Amino acid sequence: MCSVKEQRLFQRFGRLWKSFGFVEVETPVLQGAAGGAEARPFVTYHNSLGRDLYLRIATELHLKRMLVGGFEKVYEIGRIFRNEGLSPRHNPEFTTIEMYEAYSDYQSMMIMAEEIVTRCAVAVHGKLTLDYQGVEICLERPWRRETMHNLVKEATAIDFNELGDDLEVAKNVTFRTLGSGLESKDKHAIAACPTVGHLVNELFEIIVEPKLMQPTFVLDYPIEISPLAKPHRRHLGLTERFELFICGREMANAFSELTDPMDQRGRLEEQVRQHNKKRASVASESDGADGKSKKDDDESYEVTLDEDFLTALEYGMPPASGMGLGIDRLVMLLTNSASIRDVIAFPVLKIQQ
């Protein structure tokens, strides 16, 4: 259950951001399009409007529209809803802080992430060395910064930069090098990757992510899995994006924001095409008496374009960076809690039949 110490931690977030000149805003929980992340939304129906609405899976797109409207520093601490599985690190509803700052880039957000976590650690413990489930975590700055490609290369001895964009070659090299050490579900996931960028990310999640115990900024994600991030200024096919990992799990996601409306529309349309392709594949694999597929829970929901957000970009958004940080996971770290259920007062629980 949430302690008084944790509640005070939440209060410190607001004071911290206001001291940095950020304005706190509230964005809609009910949205016309589920956007800002890759996640299955909760769908509800508005009787008067006669249409489906979605519980938000991120606050991102509305906060960016605040930048278009002239607010240069905004943040929101709010509840997020994702219609996905339960685990020690996942709850269908959870709390995040998202912030956006005009005229900055993802390097600025790395400094901000360090500032948030270290200030909170000192507020709770009075020091920057913590014990988490028997592992000593050192939060002394600066934290490690490394690219996704280099981390995958270190762990697998495969240099995907040398393999280029040939997906079949990349998969063949992967299976030849790692095949005997992969579980069947991982082999299936790798075989299903539609691009080399997806493949690199899949290997990162399978092999590298669980081992990132000390604070690590993983940089420069493939463009295929980063539809809202700005293209990298030096490396073709990559984006100016990072994720922060501590204790083998993602704590924050950030990037220099994509502000080109044509590029953004094209990427989101491609995201919709890829999702619809998966839906069609699921439909063709129906295997139940009721016509439902085993994968329905993953791919049956509809993805739509957020035309209001795309229109806002056409009016013009300043260069900016943004970051989302999971407050529940941060509280897990600072309170040495093994499960997210331990830091949410009323978590969703499985009902025993």
pLDDT, tens digit (0-9, with 9 covering 90-100), for 125-149: 999 999 999 999 999 999 999 999 9
Q: Quick check: 241 pLDDT over 80? A: yes
Distance separating alpha carbons of residues 5 and 345, to the nearest angstrom: 14
Q: Using one digit for the tens of pLDDT, what is the confidence trace for 103-117?
A: 999 999 999 999 999
Strand partners for 11: none
> Is the distance from CB of 313 to CB of 85 less than 8 angstroms?
no
Q: Quick check: 283 pLDDT over 60? A: yes
- The pLDDT of residue 292: 46
Q: What is the mean pLDDT of residues 251-268?
A: 95
Listed in sequence order, the residues at least 6 apart from 264 whose beta carbon sits closer than 8 Å to its beta carbon are: 227, 228, 258, 310, 313
- The pLDDT of residue 134: 96
Strand partners for 100: 74, 322
> Is the distance from CB of 77 to CB of 97 less than 8 angstroms?
yes
- Write the CATH number of the domain with boundaries 4-143+214-342: 3.30.930.10
Longest CA pairwise span in the chain (Å)? 59
Mean model confidence pLDDT for the chain: 89
- The pLDDT of residue 305: 83
Distance separating alpha carbons of residues 150 and 353, to the nearest angstrom: 47
Distance separating alpha carbons of residues 295 and 292, to the nearest angstrom: 8
Higher-pLDDT residue of 275, 105: 105
pTM of the model: 0.90
Strand order in 241-246's β-sheet?
A: 23-24, 73-81, 93-102, 320-326, 249-256, 241-246, 216-219, 144-147
DSSP reduced 3-state for 129: strand
- The pLDDT of residue 105: 97
- The pLDDT of residue 287: 52
